[in-house]
Amino acid sequence: MAQLNASLRPAPAPPPEPIPVTLNVNGVERTLHLAPWTTLLDALRLHLDLTGTKKGCDHGQCGACTVLVDGRRINACLTLAAMQDGRKVTTIEGLTTGDSLHPLQEAFIEHDAFQCGYCTPGQICSAAGLIAEGKATTDDEIRELMSGNLCRCGAYPNIVAAIRQAMAIAGPKAEGAP
């Protein structure tokens, strides 16, 4: 067995000073002092206790960590919190107004658009971004522009139906429409 003695390795550099990071999260200004390598996802989950946003792969491949930054959907696992300093972050917790659910949340319940629910916060935030972008009009376009959100339970047909409803597009018209 090779030497695994930690004393043989070079001493690690002292950790850099925490960086002050101010985020407007769901309408509330929050200032944190974070190590530079803290991702936006870890800042939300570990430092702000907003655990609605999920960590699936941590590598940009599954979409479970999707949040809106200044209204645009991104993967919170592939950006540093420090890079988003000063910006507005909306998570699944911020989509409700008071006690009323967001139309997408209503539609996901109505269409049974989940099983385990792990991908759901990411799906809903991604769908909110998709609707704001305004590029999808057909079911195929919804599928294509939601392809960054994987669902291990395979609830895809119901997810598309829920998004279509929230977009207020009639089903038969959306299917194969030009």
Ligand X SMILES: Cc1cc2nc3c(=O)[nH]c(=O)nc-3n(C[C@H](O)[C@H](O)[C@H](O)COP(=O)(O)OP(=O)(O)OC[C@H]3O[C@@H](n4cnc5c(N)ncnc54)[C@H](O)[C@@H]3O)c2cc1C
Q: By CB under 6 A, name the binding residues for ligand FES.
A: 55-58, 60-65, 75, 77, 114-120, 151-153, 155
2 binds another protein (CB under 8 A): no
Stretch that binds another protein, among 3-11, 58-66, 88-96, 165-173 (CB under 8 A): 58-66
Query: Distance of CA 53 to CAs 16, 21, 111, 139, 146, Å?
Result: 27, 19, 21, 26, 17
71 binds ligand X (CB under 6 A): no
The CA distance from 144 to 57, in Å, is: 20
60 binds ligand X (CB under 6 A): yes
Q: How far is the CB of 131 from ligand X (least distance, A)?
A: 23
The CA distance from 26 to 139, in Å, is: 30
166 binds another protein (CB under 8 A): no
> Which residues does 53 contact at the CB level (< 8 Å), separation at least 6?
41, 44, 45, 64, 65, 66, 67, 76, 91, 92, 121, 122, 125
Contact residues toward another protein (CB under 8 A) are 12-13, 15-16, 19, 35-37, 39, 58-60, 63, 66, 72-75, 78-80, 82-83, 126, 129-130, 133, 135, 143-149
Contact residues toward ligand X (CB under 6 A) are 60-61
